[in-house]
Structure 1
Amino acid sequence: MPERVTRRLARDLPELLSDEDLSWAVEVDVDPVTAGRHNTRDILASTRERMDHHQWDLAICLTDLPVRANGRPVVAEADLDRDVAVVSLPALGGTQVYRRSKQVMLQMVDELTGREGGGENRYGLDSTLSRLLAPVQRQEHDGEHEADVRYTTTRRRGRLRLLSGMVRSNEPAQLVFGLRSALAAAVATSAFGLSSSTIWQIGDQLGAFRQVIAAVLSVALLVGWMILAHGLWEKRRDNSENDRDQVLLYNTSTVATLTIGIGVMYLGLFVINLVVALFLVPPNLLASSLGHPADFTRYLALAWGFTTMGVVAGALGSSLESDQAVRQAAYGYREEQRRREQEG
């Protein structure tokens, strides 16, 4: 996602930045420089190295790794002495990522160049909605470089936005395409259920409430199975409060990513099973098996039975996937690489 956002920004920023006195050129360098980095200092140092290598005037790094400082999610940070900045996409939230990243990028350019009064022009970062949901605060802080500027959000509301951004970076809707064995097992079991009149009768006898509960439990089973079977649960490495919060964020985003991804798989499989049932199972055959007339709601119950069975079988099928394949499917590129480097 950072690469897609950055390339789109590279097309739009020159026109937004250029004026009668100065024209801009924006180049994109895609490199996993932030993998394994845990704070903005390390990221900014790597960004400065890339800047020197390419002989740029300024450099801004967009990363999909979450960064926090003093318990607050960091949206962006600028090192004014070294002409570099970093923007953390997860801190922008899970929606309107491009619009928000453009606002922050323009803000960072202003900070690095002093144009438009530096930090005075907020480009919508101080809108009423932003202040209500997760206000972005500008801070000048002392450290190795006195002129550093950091933009953070609040602890609680900012953490919710950060979590949604982490899930968005993992792209949970794409999860199903990376779990071929689990999907194959789910489809095969659904096909078996289509030929079993016993499954038809079970689906017909259970009420809507039990059907919903069974569907939720089947998704939860597959999520739990994948986490345990492939070691997706991150453990604390020390007893610090910061480490505890960081691990909690990562594990929560993992559960949310898998739940959304498998939920999408469940809905997609349900629609397919419903269409197949309507096409292959005549109403009179279904009625004779159930012992009463078959309307459209009976076909819904039929598809539910196939799908729930299929997702449960998908838990077994996921065991055939390699740990690397599951992590590539469940995480964004930088997050998957970060975990690999930690274990290495």
Structure 2
Amino acid sequence: MIRSEQNPPEIVVGLVATPPDHPARVTAHLAAELADRLGERTDGEVRWTVREGWGEVAPRRDGGVEALLDDLARRRTDERWDLAVCLTDLPLHTERVPLVAQTSARRRVAMVSLPALGLRQLPAVRAVVPDLVDRLLTDASDDRVPPAGWAPAELAHRVTAVHRMAGEGDAGEVRYVASRLAGRARLLIGMVRANRPGRALLGLSKLLVGAFGTAAIALTNSSVWQLGQGLSPLRLAVIMVLGLTGLVAWLIVAHDLWEKPDQDTSPELARLFNQGTVLTLALATAVSYLVLFAGTMLAGALLIDTSVLEQTLQRPVGLNDYLAIAWLISSLATVGGAIGSGLEDEETVRAAAYGYHPDPGGWKDERDT
């Protein structure tokens, strides 16, 4: 094929984020540089245009990846894109192992499951998507670009999350899957990353205020000082774990965060959603506990004079005594925080549920402009 240097052929790549939450943020970063990355591979012989778009706020859970690719193919046709790539936060499986990415040359679309990439998703996406675009055009026999100089299975060596290739590369229906054990652990970590635990932490601000209030009252009680000194570190640790577990359970029950299987949600998907929700809340409450502990320790050092504490305990005291008191009070205060969590804004707490996606704000789909 003879190409004109003045008018190189244009290839339009659509990037679709579903839901327009965490995937949309990753898409925005990728879209700003994808055309340049693709241009480096073709040495200016092709003019690349990248379009951004939204997928569904609540992505389809029925039909798995095939339904997602069918929806994406219809979107590609409607928008007249040459090919489309979907970034989603849905945890997908094939052959009972996490699915990282899939290409379909017949439909000229590809999909990347962000959670399967683990913690550092943006760097992984920067490596995966250009390769998928390259592979799609090669498998679709698009003569506007030179054939990819690597086999589909080589992507397993380029991206850590990819363990092996499945499917028929010659037919253009290729799945890239993770390993069974390490891939599942990476998937859960990626789900917590996609669920934005910082948002859940900010959503528990009233809980933290209530816990601080409980801790302040407990600090003035000399009986609590004596109780803290009579407990071993093991018992204090058990009380802490029970308090945090009770708080997470209360948040899930009080705000109906538990995902139940139904006709659209398989038991495996519901199980993954619940694991992502529990891990997100556990991380957010653990950070809240550390903040509470540090604040309680500082307040105790300011409010409880050493001589008063020595008189109450009938012995010399040191830093370990203040740490034990702060540890016990922080654990007890989480119970007060759990009660205060009922006052939290429902929308803020619901955002911690992995299967729940609030209405997006600040993002604009190109087809709506």
How do 1:90-239 residues align onto structure 2 when only pairs under 5 Å count?
90-93=115-118, 95-114=119-138, 117=148, 120=151, 125-126=156-157, 130=160, 135-141=162-168, 146-237=171-262
* 1:318-329 correspondence runs (5 A): 318-321=341-344, 323-328=346-351
CA distance in 2, matches of 1:52, 1:27: 13
Q: Is 1:77 the counterpart of 2:98 in the alignment?
A: no
Match of 1:8 in 2: 29
Q: Secondary structure at the match of 1:190?
A: helix
Partners of 2:154 and 2:94 lie apart in 1 by 23
Question: Which residue does 1:341 correspond to in 2?
Answer: none
Q: 1:245 aligns with which of 268, 271, 276?
A: 268
Which residue identity is paired with 1:321?
E
Contact 2:200–2:348, Cα closer than 8 Å, also in 1:
no
TM-score of the aligned structures, taking structure 2 as reference length: 0.79
Measure the CA separation in 2 of the matches of 1:195 and 1:36.
54
Alignment of 1:255-334 (within 5 A): 255-321=278-344, 323-328=346-351, 330-332=352-354
**1:24 partner letter:** W
* Aligned residue number for residue 6 of structure 2: none
Match of 1:336 in 2: 356
- Say which structure is richer in helix: 1
Paired residues of 1:72 and 1:158 also in contact (CA < 8 A): yes
Question: 1:154 is paired with a residue of what secondary structure?
Answer: coil
**Corresponding residue SS for 2:344:** coil
Deviations 1:134-157 (A, max 9, x none): 653222359xx9532221223343
The residue that corresponds to 2:7 in the other structure is: none
**Contact kept? 1:80, 1:147, Cα under 8 Å:** yes
Deviation (angstroms), 1:260: 1.5
Counterpart Cα distance in 1 of 2:51 and 2:305: 60
Unaligned runs of 5+ in 1: 339-344
CA spacing shift, 1:125–1:283, aligned 2, 3 Å: farther
- The 3-state SS of whatever aligns with 1:117 is coil
In 2, are the aligned partners of 1:90 and 1:166 still within 8 Å (CA)? yes
Please say if residues 34 and 63 of structure 1, whose CA atoms lie closer than 8 Å, have aligned partners that are also in contact. no
Whichever of the two has the greater Rg, that structure is: 2
Alpha-carbon displacement from aligned partner over 1:243-293 (angstroms, at most 9, x marks no partner): 333332222222222211111111111112222222333322332233222
CA contact (8 A) 1:33 1:43 kept: no
| Structure 1 residue matching 2:112: 3-state secondary structure | strand
Structure 1 or 2: more strand by fraction: 2
Conserved? CA contact 2:162–2:179, under 8 Å: yes
Kept in 2: contact 1:223–1:255 (CA 8 A): yes
Identity over the aligned pairs, expressed in percent? 35
Contact 2:60 2:67 in 1 (8 A): no
Residues 124, 267 of structure 1: alpha-carbon distance in 2 compared, 3 angstrom cutoff = farther
Cα displacement (A) at 1:118: 6.7
| SS of match in other structure, 2:177 | strand
Question: In 2 relative to 1, CA 286–139 (structure 1 residues): closer, same or farther, beyond 3 Å?
Answer: same
TM-score under structure 1 length normalisation: 0.84
Question: Which residue of 49, 58, 66 maps to 2:83?
Answer: 58
Aligned pairs for 1:24-35 within 5 A: 24-32=48-56, 35=59
For the Cα contact (< 8 Å) 1:92–1:161, is it kept in 2? yes
Amino acid at match of 2:90: L
Between the aligned partners of 2:79 and 2:300, the Cα distance in structure 1 is 59
Change (3 A) 1:139 1:121: closer
Letter in 2 for 1:117: A
Check whether the contact 1:107–1:123 (CA below 8 A) recurs between aligned residues.
Answer: no
Change (3 A) 1:102 1:146: same
Gaps of 5+ in 2: 1-21, 139-145, 359-369
